[in-house]
Structure 1
Amino acid sequence: MIEQTLTVSELKGNTAWLISEQKPACEGCNGKCGSQVFSKLFGTHKKAFPLPNSYQLNVGQKVKLALDDSKVVQHALWVYLLPLLMAFLGMFSALLIFSLPELGQIGFAIVFAAIGFVIAKMKGQSLKHEVKVIKIYPISLPVTQIDGD
């Protein structure tokens, strides 16, 4: 199981929008490693994850979510492998069945890869939101000093 703790950032209707906390890179290499470079290139844009608010969540509350590892691998196979296999299928069918020249083979490969992307996207929708709520943390109240104490 892949687990991640997220914070409720916003409530809209019956949907709680969760954002993850930015994890800093290791800094063991003084910013010369790949993770630091990619972090600088792509910024720290946080994506919000929608979750039905059937748990009566409040803004600022932390929620631990889990995703089954097998679903991630399955999704990756559909998204990465299917378009590639479809491109090869298109290329080889253009060569062996239609005896097209190289430009025709490239065209068939692009069309078949696009069909693979569409199929992968449709299949990916069914795998997209199979997330389980593991734990809901209570909101911690700030400690304040009362006059006279």
Structure 2
Amino acid sequence: MTQLSTPSAPGTPSRPTLQKLPAAHLARLPISDHTRRSCGQAVTGFVDWLPFRLKHDYDQVVTDPIAATHTVRDYRRHLLTRRRLKPKTVDAAMTGIANLYLWFGMPRPDVRSAAPSRRNAPQSLAEDQVRDVLRAAERRGVRDHALVNLLHASG
């Protein structure tokens, strides 16, 4: 595995490495063993990719939330376009990488989901359904008809 820490000056504590998400941190999370392995694999893939695509230096990637977000977004794009992974697989990898940054004491990188939302766009009424609603409102009175007409006309 690629080593990404740089030697620190004598007498200063060594900087954390991006080698792997510590097992102790993963053990504290309420997740299954499968998810723990997936998180570890996601971090390993990210760490292996970093030396070849790093636009920011190590210090920025592990200390600057903006640099971290940009780097993780680039990795997300790599997984979707170069590796051609499915969006749900990419989202699972992003969760593992987010846990790495939480372990470093940083906020989660601001990376949007790759998988499409499960919510469907609202469906409009068919023309005959709109006509039925308008007629029902008209039967209830002028006020109701005006309100429903206004709602319909405003989209």
What TM-score results when the alignment is normalised by the length of structure 2? 0.22
Higher relative contact order (CA 8 A, sep 6+): 1
The structure with the greater share of residues assigned to helix is 2
- TM-score by length of structure 1 reads 0.22
